[in-house]
Structure 1
Amino acid sequence: MTAPAVSPARPAQGAPTQPQPTQAGPPATMDDAVAAYHEYVAERLTELRQHVLALRANVGNGDVDSAMQAWLDAQQAWQSVGAAYGSFGDLGSAIAPGSRGLEGGAANPDFTGLRRIEYGLWHGQGAGELIPVIDKLLADVDALEAKLPETAVAPSDMPLRLHEILEDTQRDHLSGRGDQGSGLALALARADVDATQEVLDMLRGLLDTLKSGFPARLDGELAALAAAIDATQKDGAWTDYAKVALAERQAVNAALGRALESLSLVPPLFSTD
């Protein structure tokens, strides 16, 4: 099976849909930033559910290519949640786990959610094996949406998570650790860049007060990383990261390294210790 063709010019296919701004400027306080982020997360979870419903229909119809695309859309929607997913506990682990560390790997019944569906789609599994997994995923997403109002992202966590999103990109996606057969690490990394930008936008005013001009510097570095990732696409299709030309991989790694180095400076700026 090949990775779905995704055009960088078509956000509905290749990257998370960007929300329309709901206020004239960035949040003025950390409490405002957290409230704005909770609203953003709720929107992304609604998108996630829509993509999973499309995934279920495509799997049920035996349309493997469309199912792969729907899986990518769903996984990118989850990646776009960004700073919040660490607050979801067991539900977050059920929605997007990895098989590493599970005895029996992909055969372990505790391996569920988006990564389990990825494994099945790219290893030739059909509706009989995947529909129960998708139904459980839908139930977990519904449970998370119901629980979301009481699931808080701590104000102190927001600056930390701004850095951690791309740390996860480096550790889980570009290392190949999280991949279950799709080879779409770069597509997921691209969604992580968008998620990082969202958190930055919500912290922008506060961060600029602490270090004038720093958000603009981060904007530039995130834009450079996004461009390096987008440049790896061939004819509108994502390429398996392991098969990307060395020079292009080096460009992605260099841009990621620069962004991570700068983002690591953010949490200490907000520290009150």
Structure 2
Amino acid sequence: MRPPRPLPAAIAVVAVGALVAVALWRPWEDSAEAVGGPPEISVSRSQCGQGWTDARTGRQTLMLHNTGDASAEVDLVEVTSNKVFGEVEGLGPNTAAPMDVQLGAGQYAIRCLIEDTDPITGPSVTLTGDAKGGPAAVAVTKNDMLPLVKQYEAAVATGVAQLAAKTDKLRGDVDAGNLVAARSDWLSAHLAYNSLGAAYGAFGDFADKIDGADAGFHPLEKGLWHNATAAALKPIATKLAADVHGLQADLPNQQVDPNDLGLRAHEIMENALQFELTGENDQGSGTSLNTALANLNGTANVLAILKPVLEPRYPALPEVQKWEDRTRALLTAHQSTPVAQLDRGTREQLNGAVGELLEKLAPVAAICEVRRG
């Protein structure tokens, strides 16, 4: 399990047949690009939502212009339900950005979330017509997420304690020169780490020390499956166990970012697709699919924690479960088989199932992102 890759500067997250479609855009460098487009809607402390003069139902692009002196986020909300139909982030002073939305009949308003200012809701705009509204979701608040984060942190603390016991056993095997047992216990410990899921973003430097490309589990795997001596492996196993205990001791000082729960649900399996299903991480044990299954367990644990937030907001959640089950069945059937030994059909099935799962997981981060409102 590797630390997450940085997200790109501009992100578009669209739910597939689901409840939320939120487009996140970086501001244009020059608002002059908007010349000739739709009327600009003001974003500022004194004029939030002013200028929305062409309101209508259906698919449309709203042009937002920050006329204030501070950066802002902007939401388009349905007044009666507080559902968010569109969002623009990072709108700097004197810049403009488009918001693409699909609106049905109802009452809507622009909500301006300006730095160092309480949320400001602009004037309500009533739309009539037969057009169907697009996906939307009630914003998730900090209060919604904090109990879930606490629950997850408690589960992680239990998981790290189990990991520490397993790496101690692995170290003991190597110390005793019992490398047959060490191979078995290496796998047990490695899978325990990869089942921790979303927490690894909070592990800091310990993530690289324990499961980096050239540290911790990976050089130990390489040595165990390439006839290294117990004497050569002993310092690696000792350091791995020490780093896991260091993580365990430091864990009370670490906090899982609420936004990480939703984000990692997707990223865990994205990394599994890139590093495990290609065999890139395999250092000789042939257990990449076991690791991918542990990653899937980590994702399942995250989704179980997020269920109270996701269930009322994401109608496609059963589709996530469907593809999770399909992926689990395939990984279970072929675990302990080196990726290089899979036939083409099986590899295509695995890649297809994980790809579908990733598509269904894509909206989770946007739905679970903590917003002011």
Please indicate the TM-score interval, normalised by the length of the shorter structure: 0.7 to 0.9
After superposition, give the CA deviation of every residue in 1:141-189 in whole Å (9 maximum; x if it has no partner). 1111111111111111111011111011012111222221212110000
Structure 1 stretches of 5 or more lacking a match? Answer: 1-27, 100-111
| Structure-1 separation of matches of 2:228 and 2:247 | 27
Q: Partner letter of residue 219 of structure 1?
A: Q
| Structure-1 separation of matches of 2:290 and 2:253 | 31
For residue 158 of structure 2, what is the aligned residue in structure 1? Answer: 43
Structure 2 stretches of 5 or more lacking a match? Answer: 1-142
Structure 2 residue 242 is the aligned partner of structure 1 residue 139: yes
Contact 1:173 1:189 in 2 (8 A): yes
Q: Partner letter of residue 327 of structure 2?
A: L
Contact 1:204 1:215 in 2 (8 A): no
Q: Partner letter of residue 30 of structure 1?
A: M
The one of 315, 323, 332 equivalent to 1:230 is: 332
| Structure-2 separation of matches of 1:142 and 1:195 | 21
Q: Which has the higher contact order (CA 8 A, sep 6+)?
A: 1
For residue 209 of structure 2, what is the aligned residue in structure 1? Answer: 94
Q: Partner letter of residue 169 of structure 2?
A: A
Give the Å deviation of 1:71. Answer: 0.5
Structure 2 residue 295 is the aligned partner of structure 1 residue 180: no
Deviates further, 49-58 or 117-126: 49-58
The one of 134, 146, 155 equivalent to 1:31 is: 146
For residue 130 of structure 1, what is the aligned residue in structure 2? Answer: 233
Give the Å deviation of 1:29. Answer: 2.9
| Structure-2 separation of matches of 1:142 and 1:220 | 37
After superposition, give the CA deviation of every residue in 1:240-269 in whole Å (9 maximum; x if it has no partner). 011012222111111101100110111122
| Structure-2 separation of matches of 1:60 and 1:144 | 22
Q: Partner letter of residue 41 of structure 1?
A: V
Task: Give aligned-pair identity as a percent.
Answer: 35
Instruction: Please state which structure has a larger fraction of its residues in helix.
Output: 1
User: Secondary structure of 2:193's partner?
Assistant: helix
- Point out 4+ residue stretches in structure 1 off by more than 4 angstroms: none
For residue 262 of structure 1, what is the aligned residue in structure 2? Answer: 360
Structure 2 residue 345 is the aligned partner of structure 1 residue 247: yes
For residue 64 of structure 1, what is the aligned residue in structure 2? Answer: 179
Q: Could you state the TM-score of these two structures normalised by the residue count of structure 2?
A: 0.59
User: Secondary structure of 2:258's partner?
Assistant: coil
Q: Could you state the TM-score of these two structures normalised by the residue count of structure 1?
A: 0.80
For residue 127 of structure 2, what is the aligned residue in structure 1? Answer: none
Q: Partner letter of residue 169 of structure 1?
A: A
Q: Partner letter of residue 248 of structure 2?
A: E
| Structure-1 separation of matches of 2:278 and 2:334 | 16
| Structure-2 separation of matches of 1:201 and 1:270 | 13
For residue 215 of structure 1, what is the aligned residue in structure 2? Answer: 317
User: Secondary structure of 1:140's partner?
Assistant: helix
- Cα-Cα RMSD: 1.6
Contact 2:199 2:256 in 1 (8 A): yes
Q: Partner letter of residue 342 of structure 2?
A: V
User: Secondary structure of 1:231's partner?
Assistant: helix
Contact 1:59 1:126 in 2 (8 A): no
* Matched length: 229
Give the Å deviation of 1:225. Answer: 0.3
Q: Partner letter of residue 215 of structure 1?
A: L
| Structure-2 separation of matches of 1:264 and 1:205 | 18
| Structure-2 separation of matches of 1:56 and 1:131 | 7
| Structure-2 separation of matches of 1:270 and 1:78 | 25
| Structure-1 separation of matches of 2:217 and 2:228 | 14
